[in-house]
Amino acid sequence: MNDSPPRRGDVEFAGQVNSMFDRISGVYDRMNRVMTAGLDRTWRRKAIDRAEIGAGDRVLDLCCGTGDLAIEAAGRAGPAGEVTGADFSEPMLEIARGKPPAEGHAPVTWVNADALDLPFPDHSFDAVTIGFGARNLADLDRGLDEMRRVLKPGGRLVILEITQPRRQPLKGFFALWFDRLVPLIGRVAGDSAAYSYLPDSVRTFADALADRLVAAGFDRVRWTVMAGGIIAIHSGVA
């Protein structure tokens, strides 16, 4: 097992991220529930609210991992809709494929694809969502260009991400939780490198994501924070 967390700037960054998620796929859902005290479900619901997914929509969930955000989207798109979950980690996709389809949901297709080089034609989707994935992209601007390319004109992009609170007391709590407890929980779960990478990647993730969305050509860009400033939802229209 590789003991060092992926480092942005390494030529091998994308490969390191890929193999890290391959490794932790089996504990990923449980770790999410523990680390967020179950709140991740609420955050996903709010992100999908922002995407304004309606019955019959075609939705792409990028960096879908074990599939929970795509599944939430499938509930909104309904049986007439179509949801595609895309990720480059086959073990994460395998867990998503193992989740039983729910009644009244859009069918979900799970695709192994790189978010930086999407295998979909231009203007294919009404909405693109990405949950806790944008921070992991080796080239965020290229990823945003791809997201805009595959969206129909007027299609919505929603990015759900962890962010760093700027004000006390959450700022202090975040430092304790992310810098001390998360790596410790990761050690107990058997992958300290993966769970040291998590706080590092949050810190280095561009603060100015909204500016990057504007630069990528998105309109009506806005963002809101939740959970005391720990979680951000950014959105824009193609």
Ligand X SMILES: C[S@@+](CC[C@H](N)C(=O)[O-])C[C@H]1O[C@@H](n2cnc3c(N)ncnc32)[C@H](O)[C@@H]1O
Residue numbers of the site for ligand X (CB under 6 A)?
Answer: 14, 17-18, 21, 63-65, 68-69, 87-89, 92, 114-116, 131-133, 136-137
CB of 32: closest distance to ligand X in angstroms? 6
| Residue among 14 and 209 whose Cβ is closer to ligand X | 14
| Cα 25 to Cα 66: distance, rounded to the nearest angstrom | 8
Beta bridge mates, 195: none
| Cα 63 to Cα 90: distance, rounded to the nearest angstrom | 11
| Cα 222 to Cα 234: distance, rounded to the nearest angstrom | 6
CB of 179: closest distance to ligand X in angstroms? 18
| Residue among 49 and 219 whose Cβ is closer to ligand X | 49
Give the pair of three-digit tokens for residue 63: 């960096």
CB of 79: closest distance to ligand X in angstroms? 23
CB of 168: closest distance to ligand X in angstroms? 27
Beta strands in the chain (DSSP E): 58-62, 82-87, 108-112, 125-131, 151-162, 219-226, 231-237
Nearest to 18 by CA among 93, 84, 72: 93
| Residue among 73 and 221 whose Cβ is closer to ligand X | 73
| Residue among 18 and 84 whose Cβ is closer to ligand X | 18
